[in-house]
Every structure is written in structure tokens, then in C-alpha cells.
Amino acid sequence: MSIGEDLHRLVDELPQSEKYAAQRLLEYLVDKAWFDSDLGGPLPPFDWGPDGPPPVRPVRFDPDKGLVVEDGK
């Protein structure tokens, strides 16, 4: 029996209320592995081109709309 089959069997044997906890644990472990992965070292500096970075414009968060650019400020 493979490890995947063992995991399926164990999850199937859990009561429904514990399956949610097992799911959260497995999702956490997958996320942690992804965040801890080595992406090959530092990234090279970004080339903004001859004009350089674009001008910065302030934003605010509106709960109904999300991020809103503050024009004219």
C-alpha cells in the first residue's frame, strides 16, 4: 500500500468533525513547503527602462470598492 493510499484510508476513518482539522493541517504543510522552497537565489534588479519607475500615486482602501487611487493628491 502506498503512502497516498494510507493517507486516504486514515482520513476516511476519521469522524467528519476531525476531517476539517486534517484538511487544515495538510493545507498548512503544503503552504509551508511552498513558502520554504528555494526559488534559485535572489532575483536580479528590475529594469524599469529609460524612464525609470513610474510616479507613485497614493491609494486608500474602501471596504465597498477595494483599493482606490487618490487622484489629484
Residues 6+ apart with CB under 8 A from 19: 11
Whether 19 is covered by a domain: the verdict is yes
How many helices (H) does the chain have, and how many strands (E)? 2, 2
Are residues 61 and 67 in contact, defined by beta-carbon separation less than 8 angstroms? yes
Q: What is the pTM of this model?
A: 0.48
Q: Please give the residue range of the domain that contains residue 2.
A: 1-39
12-52 residue pLDDT tens: 999 998 999 999 999 999 999 988 888 788 888 999 999 99
Whether 8 is covered by a domain: the verdict is yes
Whether 45 is covered by a domain: the verdict is no
Whether 23 is covered by a domain: the verdict is yes
pLDDT at position 72 is 56
Domain count, the chain: 1
pLDDT at position 54 is 87
Whether 5 is covered by a domain: the verdict is yes
